[in-house]
Amino acid sequence: MTLGRVVIVVPTYNEAENLAWIVTRVRRVLPRADVLVVDDDSPDGTGRIADELAASDPQVQVVHRTAKEGLGAAYLHGFRVALERGYDVIGEMDADGSHQPEQLPRLLAALEDADLVLGSRWVPGGSVVNWPLARRALSRGGNLYTRLLLGIPVRDATGGFRLFRRTTLEKIDLSSVRSVGYCFQADLAWRTVEAGLRVREVPIQFVERTRGESKMSPDVAVESLRRITTWGLRERRRQASDVLSKVTPRRNRK
Ligand SMILES: Nc1nc2c(ncn2[C@@H]2O[C@H](COP(=O)(O)OP(=O)(O)O)[C@@H](O)[C@H]2O)c(=O)[nH]1
Ligand SMILES: [Mg+2]
């Protein structure tokens, strides 16, 4: 593998029914990749299951966090550990079966000439299975809003099935990321584009979970809306002042 050592970070909160199923599939399809589970002290015992998986397979590791602090916070913690442990490729994937491990080799192949690969539901060939209309609309609307406000040329900036090169995470200043919920995904995609790095979208089939519950909540949606609006307005102001500084002769500027 020319890309080096790969780890797939899997955040979990109450995924006891799903975790072993997903980890086994990742290990089968990418035998050389490691898995790092980041559990937020799930009350349903997911952390214990993760420990059992790690005990029987040296390529499975676990980070235990003490409280549920959101997907973004869990990923930041997982990324920090993955970087410390020297991985060259650091992936994101849900534990609930929505992201299919069997599609990872295609994502990995695309990373050969990219710095970030996004598994994308909203490019030709991508799809969503079993989502009600409202959830579909939320994702499409959220992505349209993100694209327009931030001006990033990406169809699915909010998905969480992706692969970063280590060098990408090193360049985008993770220490300044404040997004705790799902807007974390848009935040990182935007930072990568802004850093001038190569982002590629690869179509994926996203399958709604059949076991356990979604942690998507109104709070999470509101955080995304609020932050993306703030970033977008800041971006527009910056563009406006760039344009002004070009059209206004220096001596006339106050
Ligand atoms: N560690 C951690 N994992 C989380 C948190 N919120 C969601 N997850 C995990 O993130 C993944 C996606 O969450 P999910 O509830 O399926 O969101 P949805 O697919 O957008 O409905 C799953 O593996 C969840 O267990 C959190 O606060 N902490
Ligand atoms: Mg899900």
Rounded distance between C-alpha atoms, residue 80 and residue 232, angstroms: 27
Close Cβ partners of 110 (under 8 Å, ≥ 6 residues apart) = 117, 200, 202
Protein residue with least CA distance to atom 19, ligand 1: 214
Rounded distance between C-alpha atoms, residue 198 and residue 118, angstroms: 11
pLDDT at 182: 79
Q: 11 CB less than 6 Å from ligand 1?
A: yes
Beta strand 127-129 pairing with 60-64: unpaired
Protein residue with least CA distance to atom 25, ligand 1: 12
Protein residue with least CA distance to atom 11, ligand 1: 94
Q: How confident is the model at residue 164 (pLDDT cuts 50, 70, 90)?
A: very high
Out of 13, 75, 128, mutate this one to test ligand 1's pocket (max ligand atoms within 8 Å of CB): namely 13
pLDDT at 34: 98
Instruction: Of 206, 213, 187, give the one whose Cα is nearest residue 136.
Output: 206
Q: What is the mean pLDDT of residues 127-153?
A: 94
- Measured N-to-C along each axis, helices 183-194 and 71-84 cross at an angle, to the nearest 10 degrees, of 50
Out of 14, 19, 63, 71, mutate this one to test ligand 1's pocket (max ligand atoms within 8 Å of CB): namely 71
Which atom number of ligand 1 is nearest to the Cα of residue 38? 1
The model's pLDDT over 64-110, given as tens digits with 9 standing for 90+, comes to 999 999 999 999 999 999 999 999 999 999 999 999 999 999 999 99
Beta strand 116-120 pairing with 162-165: antiparallel
DSSP 217-237: -HHHHHHHHHHHHHHHHHHHH
Q: pTM value?
A: 0.94
Q: 216 CB less than 6 Å from ligand 1?
A: yes
Q: 92 CB less than 6 Å from ligand 1?
A: no
Q: 70 CB less than 6 Å from ligand 1?
A: yes
Residue with tokens 């002769």: 249
The token pair at 96 is: 């609930």
Rounded distance between C-alpha atoms, residue 236 and residue 239, angstroms: 5
Beta strand ranges found along 51-161 (DSSP E): 60-64, 89-92, 116-120, 127-129
Q: 214 CB less than 6 Å from ligand 1?
A: yes
Residue with tokens 């939320």: 138
pLDDT at 251: 61
Ligand 1 centroid – CA 46 distance (Å): 12
Beta strand 89-92 pairing with 6-12: parallel
Neighbours of 130 (CB within 10 A): 11
